[in-house]
Copies of this chain bind each other. A is one copy, B any other.
């Protein structure tokens, strides 16, 4: 099949830092246009330089405002920032209140900022896979920080959070949020806790609540970096920070960024970063393999005759029949 675009050429333009080329490349990846893997492959050697930061939490925790504030902080350090929003409640995805959207809109016009929202449906290879690859393209395009803003509920969403180098879980003081976080499995993905909107009552209570829960977890296993294999060595143990911010007023953002840097340095010094990156590459190969198989299956599905589909046979018999066809007709 002839590619829908020239991967070689587009890769060059993305590597050259052209935002329009990057946007087009991400669309090709999201749509799995013919040639999208060739594009990813050509840019593969340029990835691994960006630091990936996952910002996740329940709806209404202020993830986008925190993302915006952190982005401004990085801009002031002349760092380029890529943002992938896979949060259906995020202003970046257009799902938010007007006020938010305006605030984010300002950010999107900043040079050195690239914002992309991922459709949370459709992508055959899976939302998490497409999102990781969108981050790869931003990385290859020379963005120093790639922020993955994802809703902290749902399987695909949590898969995205854990794929970041550092994952910050954002909560708000409203009662029950700490408990809610337990339930939603957010604790498992957290490298760092941010209690946002901490000018509201209950912030200190929530901080204590989380601290207690984490201390209980420490009894079982040390809270180590995402993907890190905690073997109990002191310097191998990541003591998870719990901090407070008021993102809408940029309060606590310096400290937030400092904690992110500390965690990244910790990952690097313990060799966990290398292990994490290796795991990420293997995951890509694994995902790419399954996506290829799935894509061929989809092709067959589209070619399935109405007779076969309405044959009255069980769905499983139909699948079996189509699959045998699928194996024979592979190009």
**Complex Cα gap A218–B65 (Å):** 32
Contact flag A184-B309 (CB < 8 Å), given A285-B315, A314-B41, A319-B288: no
Are B327 and A327 neighbours in the complex by a CB distance under 8 Å?
A: yes
Q: How long is the Cα–Cα vector from A40 to B44 in the complex, in angstroms?
A: 42
A41-B317, A288-B316, A316-B44 given; A183·B95 CB < 8 A: yes
> By the criterion CB–CB under 8 Å, are B326 and A327 in contact?
no
A275-313 interface with B by 8 A CB criterion: 281-282, 284-286, 288-294, 296-298, 300-301, 309
A: interface residue count bin: 35 or more
Are A289 and B184 in contact, CB atoms less than 8 angstroms apart? Answer: no
Q: Which residues of B contact A293 (CB under 8 A)?
A: 293-294, 296-297, 323, 326
Contact call A179/B323, Cβ cutoff below 8 A: no
Question: Contact between B285 and A318 (Cβ–Cβ < 8 Å)?
Answer: yes
- Shortest distance from the beta carbon of A19 to any chain B beta carbon, whole Å: 24
A204 in contact (CB, < 8 A): no
Is A316 within 8 A of B154, CB to CB? no
Provide the residues of chain B in CB contact with A281, threshold 8 Å: 315
B183 & A96 in contact (Cβ 8 Å cutoff): yes
Q: Which residues of B contact A289 (CB under 8 A)?
A: 297, 300-301, 318-319, 322-323, 326
Given contacts A58-B59, A156-B156, A323-B292, contact A184 B88 (CB under 8 A): yes
- Give chain A interface residues in 34-66, CB to chain B under 8 Å: 37-38, 40-41, 44-45, 58-60
State which residues 162-213 of A face B: CB under 8 Å: 176, 179-180, 182-185
Other than the given A154-B157, A289-B319, 14 more pairs (CB < 8 A) read A37-B316, A37-B319, A40-B316, A41-B314, A60-B176, A88-B183, A282-B309, A285-B309, A285-B316, A288-B316, A289-B300, A292-B323, A293-B294, A293-B296
Question: What are 6 contact pairs spanning A and B, CB under 8 A?
Answer: A88-B184, A96-B183, A288-B320, A289-B318, A292-B319, A327-B327
